[in-house]
Amino acid sequence: MTVDLKRGEVTDDPDYRWSTNKLNKNELLLLLGLAVQSTDGRTYTVHSPSTNFGAEVDRLCRELHDAINWDARPTFDPETGVPSFSPEIGPLAREAIYYGAESFYLHQFDKFARMRYARDEAWLKLNAGGSIDELADIGQHIVHEMTKRMSAVGHMRGEGRKFSAHEFTDSLILAKEELVEKFGERATAFLARFATPAMNANADFVSPFSVNAVTIAPLIDLGEYVYIPNHYRLIESLYESPFYWMQGDTAYNATASDNRGYFVEETSANILRTVFSKEHVFENVKLYKGKKVVGEIDVLVVYGEYLLIGQAKSKRLTLKARAGDSKALKVDFEGAIQHPFRQAQECAALIRASVRGVDPNGNEVTFPDLPRIFLLVLLSDGFPAATFLSRAMLSRKGKDAPVIWDLGVLDCVTRIFRTPVKLLYYLKCRADAFHNMISDSEYNFIGFHLQSKLVLSEEANMMIIDRDFATVVDDFMIAADLKVDREPPEGILERVKFPFVTPLMDELQQTHPIAAALALDLYDFSSSALETLSELIKKTREEVRRGKAIKAFSLLTGSGGFTYAIVARQDERSRLAAHSIGQKHKYDRRADRWYVILNDVGTDNPIDAMLPLLYPWEVSSIEDEHSKNVQSVFRSTATELKSGNRPEDEES
């Protein structure tokens, strides 16, 4: 992959960048796993320029992929010709798992590995030759050296120099002596854990889905040198492997498992605090019905009307499940995704039934009366093909759909959608797309949302999102891998500006959290509807400037509606009039939610006051009489805003 360091962009042609003809990580490790089984050292010293070895390897890799796909092929009814798939999920999932996109980026593995094993410092120093920081520093040094060398090769190629295949390989070889000089005995301990001998190794590797020593120890030991075939896998191993070392120590096993749980909960909460701030994010909130604990939420966000209920897990996909064993896959899916989703659903139901929330310090957590709830399954490790498997395997009650993110995706999402409103809107779109939009990577969904909003068009009932939509996300995150500062990509709603409406939406993002819900409702409007709204605000402001005391319009939204009242002067009378109009429409439309915005033409603010009307709708003779009285004073309708239509104005 070629990266322009100044712009922080991958410069490879998109067709090449996303080509399935390239070796992916698993295919490369497969070839290396076979290579180290050799008993002849000359394998690594003899190079024949005329060989067709590379072409033959490509052919065999394609044959393997075709064979995996063949196992998942549909069968066809001989009479009707209708295709049907095997009820066994394993063969279907195996291809998605083996050839699916990666979830973490390189710099995330390093950052999170240091956090993940920080509590295990004493054990690691005693049993692995160094703390996680010391081990990670060695890994980062190796990555830095390889990046520096490959950058130099790329620069020379740009100047016209030609390189042979074995010269490229030579640039990925590092002297052990260099590591020992810099890191001492820690380097020796590191190599003992992360290097596989170049010969007579990996004898148990008998199929693409059996234990591969090179996957566990991805450096190839060449005696005085090590070969670094894939530095991504090296840093990934630093994130994964210490947990398995600790599992082998029965005396420490329970402590290690507890530490993993603390890590994913604490890290998820801290990531969410970068968007929602400290006062809105809670960990380990217990739910009480009376004096009895009836539920517990690992990570909870309370922001205005919104609740994010996150249940965190440290469950990985086992080797047996990766190989396509349907029973093992179902067990792993239950532990990693189904169980925490069920917990989140149960907690959501309890909150809607008015239980109490209490944080670990004994402080009560206040829930909104009409909560809008998002359910998050938060994973410490990448769960390959999670998007595909969740759509196929998840059992759920009601309409709630989960967002299933590992820490890599959660970290990426919060760095792109940096305000609560932007993140909440993406969560809404992602949950809405759960069953009718398909892709093999969460990053494709993010990229699509940035380009055009993650919303299914009215003309379609299903959409498949290709991998190249992730390009904009990839560029941003790979820049971070290379320590290149780069602003996050802008979404469509930031690129397209509407007079009056854009400042209004900006203000809704910055004002009280209760305003977030109306901002999300406006984000759902089409561009033509937002253009009409912009023209309507302009026209109404002009009429008030010409002498009206108040002029208002009321619009329906996906969750209820809002009244936008423009006044010549903001005083108690104008506030009462605007409130009365909004109250009428809320009742007439049988809505639980209605928002009233007051805009004074004498200020530059798009919002001078906001009056949220948030309470369950119910039949009321008092409200019915109030509606009739307001109608007699104001021409008052609430309209669904579509291109070309305009609501009637209300004036006094």
Give 102-132 pLDDT, tens digit per residue. Answer: 999 999 999 999 999 999 999 999 999 999 9
Q: DSSP labels for 72-140?
A: TPPEE-TTT--EE--S-HHHHHHHHHHHPPP-S-HHHHHHHHHHHTGGGHHHHHHHTSS-HHHHHHHHH
Could you identify the residue written with the tokens 């659903």? 345
Nearest to 374 by CA among 410, 344, 350, 394: 344
d(C-alpha 479, C-alpha 107), whole Å? 10
* β-sheet bridge partners, residue 406: 379
In this structure, which amino acid lies at residue 168? F
Cβ atoms within 10 Å of 456's Cβ, excluding its own: 14
Read off the tokens for 224.
């005085």
Residues 561, 586 contacting (CB under 8 angstroms): yes
In this structure, which amino acid lies at residue 451? Q
Length of the chain: 652
d(C-alpha 437, C-alpha 72), whole Å? 21
Supply the pLDDT for residue 89.
86
d(C-alpha 479, C-alpha 342), whole Å? 37
Read off the tokens for 541.
């402001």
The Cα-based distances of 228 to 10, 107, 203, 219 in angstroms read 22, 17, 21, 5
Q: β-strand 83-84 against 173-175: which pairing, if any? A: unpaired
d(C-alpha 416, C-alpha 410), whole Å? 10
| Mean pLDDT of each 10-residue bin along the chain, 652 residues long | 63 63 88 92 62 83 90 64 65 88 93 97 95 97 90 80 76 93 95 95 93 95 94 95 92 94 96 96 97 97 97 91 92 95 96 96 95 96 89 86 95 96 96 90 95 87 89 91 88 89 92 92 92 93 92 93 94 94 95 96 92 95 94 81 57 52
Give the DSSP letter of residue 645.
-
Close Cβ partners of 250 (under 8 Å, ≥ 6 residues apart):
none
Exposed, middle or buried: residue 64 (CB in 10 Å: 0-12, 13-18, 19+)?
middle
Exposed, middle or buried: residue 190 (CB in 10 Å: 0-12, 13-18, 19+)?
buried
Residues 487-525 as b or e (16 or more Cβ within 10 Å = b): ebbebebeeeebebbbbbbebbeebebbbbbbbbbbbbb
Nearest to 411 by CA among 401, 402, 423: 423
Nearest to 27 by CA among 98, 82, 87, 108: 98
Cβ atoms within 10 Å of 402's Cβ, excluding its own: 24
User: What ranges make up the beta strands (E) of 360-476?
Assistant: 364-365, 372-379, 402-406, 437-438, 463-464
Supply the pLDDT for residue 152.
82
Give me the helices (H) in 202-298, please. Answer: 213-216, 231-247, 253-276
Read off the tokens for 335.
């532990």
d(C-alpha 601, C-alpha 608), whole Å? 10
Supply the pLDDT for residue 18.
61
Residues 550, 565 contacting (CB under 8 angstroms): yes
Beta-carbon-side half-sphere exposure of residue 627 (alpha carbons within 13 Å): 15
d(C-alpha 532, C-alpha 641), whole Å? 8
Supply the pLDDT for residue 650.
54
